[in-house]
Amino acid sequence: MTQVPGPVARIDLNDTEAFVSGDPHLLWEQLRTQSPVHWNPTPSGGFWALTTYDDVLAALRDTETFSSEHGTVIGGSFRDEIDTASGRMLVTSDPPRHRQLRRRMHRVFSPALIERVTTTVRHRVELALDRLWADGGGDLALDVARELPAGGLMAQLGIDHDEALHLLALTQTMIGYRDDDHSLGISHEGLRLATAQADIFDFFLDLIAKRRAVPGDDAVSILLTPEEGERELDEDTLLFNLMNLAIGGNETTQHSASGGVLAMMDDPAEWDRLRADPKLVDTGIEEFVRWTSTASYVQRTATRPVTVRGVEIAEGDSVTLWIASANRDANQFPEPNRFDLGRTPNRHVGFASGPHHCIGAAMGRTALNALLRSLPTRPGRLAPAGDVVRLRSNFMLEYKSIPVEVTAR
């Protein structure tokens, strides 16, 4: 493996400190310029990091060379080299199994269910913003952004608000297993992850039992009911895909909302633009996704020797595709570090690309639409009122707390 001389060789994308107190975008910019195909050693081995837009896009689309079946997150499986969800969960499967699961999961994103999500999320967002404005401020991440996925889960799963918040807490503990606030009193990080996953499975096992007894038109009931010619999903496959449903779009939507509004607070001119031109909602949604790139990377495994930019990657090597870096690549996005609600074109990879393009992208856009349409109709705007607290994770760029106040202008 070629070693890179100088400071770039010391960049460690597996060190979560840069994602909590530093700016990982500075690291990615350095890698794009000096070491776009970068070997990142870890105590258990290491991984390649692809950071340019072109390389990330090409790898996302090339599922024959870059497999998802060994797991999409570094260290995402406790005690097992291959992710326990391999071939069972949509995001950890390759064709043809991926196509089979995608067809099955696609029924969960029917127009009727998306319409129900739209109605519920709009209601939850309006309630949250009403409270925030009445109180003169609060916590954007907890009081407002969290209501986007809460409303989505309520509509998708047929659960109430308290159950949705409980499920969100479980999924955030799983994503944030490296954060001491989500330690569950367990010191070993791998065991934290396994425990959090088990708690999510317990939630869904209870829900599955209820839907078997009294079926409905929610996602669980849909997945429990095979169409003609289909087999019933085995329990593990059902659980893994329900977990993926709960984590995927819901985690990213919440923190895309947080990070996008935070960017608007940092540049009030963008708030004024949105208020003056409602048509910016559509382009603004895409800029929220590009700017925040909440799922910062996905992991792949090389199925054969491959050369990228003259660097040889061996069969079996872990290869991480840094979506957050690709979405700030100046070769694709003019002024990439400028937040621009009117940016067009905006061919971001925030929802991935190719066969693994996010199946819940439409629902994510629906939730962000509700927020962006409601914010500019209210008097004044939001402004920072304290320190932002970020999650200790290099996978999800999440916000634990964003104190805000409502200002008159």
Going residue by residue through the chain (409 aa), what tens digit of pLDDT does each one get? 444 444 798 899 999 999 999 899 999 999 999 999 999 999 889 999 999 999 999 999 999 999 999 889 887 543 344 556 677 788 999 998 999 899 999 999 889 999 999 999 999 999 999 999 999 999 999 999 999 999 999 999 999 999 999 999 999 898 888 888 888 888 888 888 889 899 999 999 999 999 999 999 999 999 999 988 888 999 999 999 999 999 876 667 999 999 999 999 999 999 999 999 999 999 999 999 999 999 999 999 999 999 999 999 999 999 999 999 999 999 999 999 999 999 999 999 999 999 999 988 988 999 999 999 999 999 999 999 999 999 999 999 999 999 999 998 7
Q: Which residue, chain included where needed, has tokens 């503990």?
A: 173
Give domain status of residue 72, yes or no.
yes
What would the two tokens of residue 297 be? 């990377």
At residue 348, the 3 state secondary structure works out as coil
- Enclosing domain of residue 30: 7-407
Amino acid at 341: L
Written as one string, the DSSP assignment of 12-53 is -TT-THHHHTS-HHHHHHHHHHH-SEEEEEETTEEEEEE-SH
| Residues 323, 128: Cα–Cα separation, whole Å | 30
What would the two tokens of residue 129 be? 């913003």
Give domain status of residue 147, yes or no.
yes
Helix runs in 62-182, H state only = 97-106, 111-135, 147-157, 161-175
Give domain status of residue 2, yes or no.
no
Kindly report whether the global pTM for this prediction surpasses the value 0.85. yes
Write the CATH number for 262: 1.10.630.10
| Tally of structural domains, the chain | 1
Give domain status of residue 395, yes or no.
yes
Alpha-carbon separation of residue 358 from 248, 349, 393 (angstroms):
8, 10, 21
Give domain status of residue 1, yes or no.
no
Give domain status of residue 326, yes or no.
yes
HEC profile of 151-173: HHHHHHHCCCHHHHHHHHHHHHH
